[in-house]
Amino acid sequence: MMKKDRKLARILQKRVIEPSPLIQVVIGPRQVGKTTAVKSVISKLGGVYETADSPVPISYEVISEWWQQAEKSKEKILAIDEIQKIPDWSEAVKKLWDQRPLKLIVTGSSALLVEKGLKETLAGRFELIRAEHWNFEEASSIFGISLDKYVEFGCYPGSTSFLDDVPRWAAYIRDSIVEPALGRDLLQLHPVDQPALLRQVFGVAVSLPAQVVSLQKMYGQLQNKSSIPTIGQYLTLLSQAFLVTGIQKYSSSAFRRRKSSPKLIVHDNALLRSFLKPIDQTIDSELKGRFFENLIGARFVEAGWETYYWNDRSKEVDYIVLGPNGEKWAVEVKSTKCSYADMGYVLDFCKKNPEFEPRLVSLIDQEIKNIETVPVRDLLSYSRI
């Protein structure tokens, strides 16, 4: 059980009680606490909570009915969950907001549809809050998850009570998180001509975390053959569903970045662990290293850092990142003990690109002379909010 509110809930509550707040728009993946945060705000402040998360389409006219209910309440607060499921929702909200503004919170699990409606219809009327997958500080303080557990199992709040029964835990992740995201969110809201292929692309991605994979190589591993551009499109959809992101090779040329093969970053390690076979296996040091490298990349992505990789023939740097406060780092990720020599490719990159600084991220918090180490617990707690 959640013992205290997540930071997301505190931010929402603070904004809603402002005298004339903008529309608060919360987007993020399924099962990371968006609904819990919204319900927490409603329970403390009062107001009307409704959800559009229905297996059948809901008419936009229902928004007007909910609006009237909220207007009759003392608090005049309306929260609508999964609003992207309602066709033409943004036009309906704009009309009502311009005529009869109230305190409005909306959430969504589809970045494309929510942001498209905002930018095209509600420009200047909203604030966007990105609900991330749980970082380590929150997972540790609220659920008591250790660093080792976080590396292996990630953190989806609804699954934490099953961690002592890995097969049951994995079934929950697959059935309650992955299947709704693939089978409902994406297939209902986006044109997907080959649903089986979309699932296979996801399956390949979770089997190759933190690896550079050409679309041609991915094509060769799929049972359902299609065009390479379709595979690229489905990877984009998985990113918009906050499941998998393909980061690009760093280059000063935007064109070269776009033409590079993606390095696959899965947004939460639960999505990796739940698809291992056999499910109750103990992960070895090599696989743990791959999980850890993926986790670091995922945290940079989730926290809003510009995240790339770099390679040059046999040389590779795990991550090239640009942070919100002007940070420019070339990052080597290590799960076991390493030496100064292991930082050679990072140092080579920094010599060619002197605006970047070398950084080591060590699971065992190792320090190397003349190389700055980023404390792993600090990095895994980076956040947009």
Q: List the domain boundaries for the chain.
A: 7-130, 136-379
- 7-130 topology per CATH: Rossmann fold (3.40.50)
Parallel/antiparallel/unpaired status of strands 23-27 and 103-108 = parallel
pLDDT of residue 225: 65
The Cα–Cα gap between 36 and 6 comes to 9
Please name the residue that has the structure tokens 């617990």: 377
- CB of 355 within 8 A of CB of 385? no
pLDDT of residue 2: 47
pLDDT of residue 296: 98
| Burial of 235 (C-beta count, 10 Å sphere; 0-12/13-18/19+) | buried
- CB of 302 within 8 A of CB of 132? yes
The Cα–Cα gap between 92 and 111 comes to 19
- CB of 156 within 8 A of CB of 268? yes
CA distances from 138 to 6, 152, 288 (A): 7, 16, 22
pLDDT of residue 335: 97
Parallel/antiparallel/unpaired status of strands 48-51 and 77-81 = parallel
The Cα–Cα gap between 114 and 84 comes to 6
Of the candidates 378, 312, 373, 290, the one whose C-alpha atom is nearest the C-alpha of residue 338 is 373
Annotate 338-360 with b (16+ C-beta within 10 A) or e (fewer): beeeebebbbbbbeeeeebebbb
3-class secondary-structure state, position 202: helix
How many helices (H) and strands (E) the chain has is answered by: 18, 12
pLDDT of residue 115: 67
Each as own residue / partner, the long-range contacts of residues 260-264 (CB below 8 Å, 24 or more positions apart, any chain) are 261/212, 261/213, 261/214, 261/215, 262/212, 262/213, 262/215, 262/235, 263/210, 263/211, 263/212, 263/213, 263/297, 263/309, 264/205, 264/208, 264/209, 264/210, 264/211, 264/213
pLDDT tens string, the chain, 385 residues long: the values are 444 667 899 999 999 999 888 999 999 988 899 999 999 999 999 999 999 988 788 999 999 999 999 999 999 999 999 998 898 899 999 999 999 999 999 998 877 666 667 777 888 899 989 999 999 999 999 999 999 999 999 999 999 999 999 999 999 999 999 998 888 778 766 778 888 889 999 999 999 999 999 888 888 878 766 788 888 899 988 998 899 999 999 987 766 666 789 999 999 999 999 999 999 999 999 999 999 999 999 999 999 999 999 999 889 999 999 999 999 999 999 999 999 999 999 999 999 999 999 999 999 999 999 999 999 999 999 999 8
pLDDT of residue 6: 79
pLDDT of residue 195: 87
pLDDT of residue 299: 98
pLDDT of residue 189: 66
The residue count for the chain: 385
pLDDT of residue 4: 60
In eight-state DSSP terms, residue 18 is: S
